[in-house]
Amino acid sequence: DAGITQSPRYKITETGRQVTLMCHQTWSHSYMFWYRQDLGHGLRLIYYSAAADITDKGEVPDGYVVSRSKTENFPLTLESATRSQTSVYFCASLAGLAGGGDEQFFGPGTRLTVL
Amino acid sequence: KNQVEQSPQSLIILEGKNCTLQCNYTVSPFSNLRWYKQDTGRGPVSLTIMTFSENTKSNGRYTATLDADTKQSSLHITASQLSDSASYICVVSPGEAGTALIFGKGTTLSVSS
């Protein structure tokens, strides 16, 4: 599928378990992002990546790990899930200025519930 | 502190009516301001983008305005449709690469028949 996809779309897990959320984009965009969206908050940046093998922390990185070995994939791992990580997670990508603009394109989201 | 405040938090209107959503920001430096539409269960989709020198931008029935002096923006929806029911998010970019976006909490619009 063209565009940006996330998997799984829904996930229920238990406290302490490791969970990996997947994000894949077909545009070869340089930048990729992970956000979480909670009631009462705007989208908050967890981590972002400017290119393969380059990642950086966002506003709320604690408890999360990312990697980017390939340009098209940007997985997000919760090493030991906690209830406070129950949220909707969005992945986004950005071509960068050279790509013709700074619009971030968002995936459909993953709803994660930690019991 | 960089912040984006939106009002109202939620809004209910009848189909066919117009409405205006507000966004105030305290973000510096300023690169651009976008309005995103987020349907329930989906990711946000960009509606409009305005830079410092632009004060209005339209996308069909959506018209965004920007007053960079007062740091205010509005999104006007004309002749609302049921499909306009969504959350509308104001997003300000302080940088050039669009990486450090500042998101508002959104306005939830419900259009009823």
Separation in Å, CA of A87 to nearest CA in chain B: 12
A109–chain B Cβ distance below 8 A for any pair:
yes
Query: Nearest CA to CA, how far is B90 from chain A (Å)?
Result: 10
pLDDT of residue A101: 58
pLDDT in tens, chain B (113 residues): 889 999 999 999 999 999 999 999 998 888 889 999 999 999 999 999 998 888 999 999 999 999 999 999 999 999 999 999 999 999 998 876 556 789 999 999 999 99
| Residue range A2-15: mean pLDDT, rounded | 95
Q: Show which of residues 29-88 on chain A sit within 8 Å of chain B, judged by CB atoms.
A: 31, 33, 40-45, 48, 50
CB contact under 8 A, B49 and A103: yes
pLDDT, position A97? 58
**Confidence (pLDDT) at B25:** 96
So what's the pLDDT on residue B6?
A: 98
Once rounded to an integer, what is the mean pLDDT over residues A35-61? 92
Which amino acid type is present at position B109? L
> What residues of chain A lie within 8 A of the CB of B32, using their CB?
102
Specify the 3-state DSSP secondary structure of B83: helix
Residue with the two structure tokens 């539409």: B37
Output the pLDDT for position B96: 60
Whether pLDDT at A99 is above 50: no
- Predicted local confidence at residue A42, as pLDDT: 86
pLDDT of residue A100: 45
Share of chain A above pLDDT 70, in %: 94
A16 in contact with chain B, both atoms CB, cutoff 8 A: no
| Of residues A40 and B7, more confidently modeled | B7
The answer to whether residue A75 scores a pLDDT higher than 60 is yes
User: Testing the interface with A: which of B101, B102, B107, B108 to mutate, by most A Cβ within 10 A?
Assistant: B101
B44 neighbourhood in chain A, CB within 8 Å? 43, 90, 106
**Close Cβ partners of A83 (under 8 Å, ≥ 6 residues apart):** A15, A114, A115
Which residues in chain A touch residue B99, judged by CB atoms under 8 angstroms apart?
31, 33, 48, 50, 94
